[in-house]
């Protein structure tokens, strides 16, 4: 993929926001060696909010949109931390938490909304390892929360 991540974002009509401030006592990103850890990013971005549970308030498609917001927030945090998304060498690992009912079995399809967007924007550099799980609740009632480990260089 010759295009830059910024060019891909523009083509997709996505403007990275000022990234959300942490909701609590932590920092959004931290670099150690060539790894950058990104704190869990919830599916809330200004007016665009996905709160509530998969399997109750939301179906899989809504959940994928929620997970896409987590992806946008991850990229927004990386942009602030690195200055330039071209410094992202690889998305190494995502952990995706889905706020859902005890009978919901599609957490992996929901988190695809995050994974697919990162691959769309970053190409090969966006392909990552991952876990997806369904949890009892998330901070602020968010539908989705995704954290990331990123290789830079």
DSSP state of 17: P
Q: Which of 5, 9, 19, 40 binds a copy of itself (CB under 8 A)?
A: 40
Binding-site string for a copy of itself from residue 4 to residue 23, where x marks contact by CB under 8 A and - marks none:
------------------xx
Cα dihedral value 116, 121, 127, 131, nearest 10: -50
Other beta carbons within 10 angstroms of residue 51's beta carbon come to: 17
Q: Does 25 bind a copy of itself (CB under 8 A)?
A: yes
Query: Which phi and psi (to 5°) does residue 122 adopt?
Result: -105, -5
Q: Does 73 bind a copy of itself (CB under 8 A)?
A: no
Q: Does 80 bind a copy of itself (CB under 8 A)?
A: no
Cβ neighbours for 29, distance < 8 A, ≥ 6 positions apart? 36, 37, 38, 39, 77, 78, 80, 81
Q: Which of 2, 32, 46, 83 binds a copy of itself (CB under 8 A)?
A: 32
Least distance in Å: CB of 147 to a copy of itself?
5
Q: Does 130 bind a copy of itself (CB under 8 A)?
A: yes
Separation of alpha carbons 144 and 134, rounded Å = 9
CB of 39 or CB of 43, closer to a copy of itself: 39
DSSP state of 87: G
CB of 85 or CB of 117, closer to a copy of itself: 117
């Amino acid at each position: 993929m010759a295009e830059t991540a910024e060019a891909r974002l523009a083509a997709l009509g996505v403007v990275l926001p000022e990234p959300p401030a942490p909701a609590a006592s932590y920092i959004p990103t931290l670099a150690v060696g060539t790894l950058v850890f990104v704190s869990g990013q919830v599916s809330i971005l200004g007016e665009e909010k996905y709160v509530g549970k998969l399997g109750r308030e939301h179906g899989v498609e809504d959940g994928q949109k929620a997970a896409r917001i987590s992806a946008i927030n991850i990229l927004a945090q990386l942009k602030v931390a690195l200055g330039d998304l071209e410094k992202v060498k690889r998305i190494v690992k995502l952990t995706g938490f889905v706020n859902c009912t005890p009978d919901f079995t599609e957490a992996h399809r929901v988190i695809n909304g995050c994974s697919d967007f990162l691959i769309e924007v970053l190409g090969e550099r966006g392909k990552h390892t991952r876990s997806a799980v369904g949890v009892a609740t998330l901070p602020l009632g968010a539908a989705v929360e995704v954290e990331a480990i990123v290789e830079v260089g």
